[in-house]
Amino acid sequence: MTATRITVRGDSPYEVVIGTGVLSELPGLFKPGVRTVAVIHPASLPELSRPVCAALSEAGYDVVPLPVPDGEQAKTVEVAAQLWSALGRYGVTRSDAVVGVGGGATTDLAGFVAATWLRGVQVVLAPTTLLAMVDAAVGGKNGIDTPEGKNLVGTFLPPAGVLCDLATLTGMPRADYVAGLAEVIKGGFIADPTILMLVEDDPEAACTPEGPHTRELVERKIQIKADVVGADLREAGLREILNYGHTLAHAIERAENYQMRHGEAVAIGMVYAAELSRLDGRIGVDLVERTRAILTSVGLPTSYPLAAWPQLRDHMRLDKKVRGAKQRFVVLDGLAKVGRLEGPSEELLDAAYRAIAG
Q: CA angle 130-120-36, nearest 5°?
A: 80
Q: 327 labelled as ligand-binding?
A: no
* Whether 127 contacts 136, CB under 8 Å: yes
Backbone phi, psi, residue 222, to 5°: -65, -40
- 216 in active site: no
2 is in an annotated binding site: no
Tell me which of 41, 186, 220, 262 is the catalytic residue: 262
Q: Is 4 annotated as a binding residue?
A: no
φ/ψ (deg, to 5) at 19: 170, 180
Distances (CA, A) of 209 to 195, 236, 290, 308: 15, 34, 24, 34
The answer to whether 26 and 124 are in contact (CB under 8 A) is yes
Q: How far apart are CA 97 and CA 65, in angstroms?
A: 12
Task: Let me know if 262 is a catalytic residue.
Answer: yes
The reply, when asked if residue 74 is annotated as ligand binding, is yes
**Nearest by Cα to 25 from 70, 56, 66, 64:** 56
213 is in an annotated binding site: no
* 31 among annotated binding-site residues: no
Among the listed residues 207, 229, 52, 28, the one whose alpha carbon sits nearest the alpha carbon of residue 137: 229
* 151 among known catalytic residues: no
Known active-site residue 221: no
Instruction: Establish whether 7 is an annotated binding residue.
Output: no
Check whether 337 is labelled as a binding-site residue: no
Is 31 part of the annotated catalytic residue set? no
Annotated active-site residue in 186, 220, 239, 254: 239
Q: CA-CA distance, 47 to 10, in Å (whole number)?
A: 34
Which entry of 250, 261, 278, 315 is annotated as an active-site residue?
Answer: 250
Of 15, 183, 219, 240, the catalytic one is: 183
- Is 106 assigned a ligand-binding role in the annotation? yes
104 is in an annotated binding site: yes
Out of 41, 141, 221, 328, the active site residue is: 141
Is 246 annotated as ligand-binding? yes
145 labelled binding-site residue: no
User: Could you give the 3-state DSSP secondary structure of residue 357?
Assistant: strand
CA 94 to chain centre: 27
- Is residue 41 among the annotated active site residues? no
Catalytic residue list contains 183 = yes
| Residue 141 is assigned to a ligand binding site | yes
The answer for residues whose C-beta is within 8 angstroms of residue 326's C-beta and 6 or more apart is 342, 343
Does the active-site annotation cover 315?
Answer: no
What backbone torsions phi and psi does residue 153 show, to the nearest 5 degrees?
A: -115, 125
Of 243, 254, 261, 278, catalytic: 243
**Residues 246, 254, 292, 320: which is the catalytic one?**
246
Candidate list 200, 235, 256, 321, residue with the active-site label: 235
**Residue 129 known to bind ligand:** yes
C-alpha dihedral over 303, 306, 309, 310, to 10 degrees? -170
Tell me the binding residues for Zn(2+). Answer: 183, 246, 262
Which residues make up each annotated binding site for NAD(+)? 70-75, 104-108, 128-129, 141, 150
* Catalytic positions: 119, 141, 183, 225, 235, 239, 243, 246, 250, 262
Annotated binding site: 70-75, 104-108, 128-129, 141, 150, 183, 246, 262
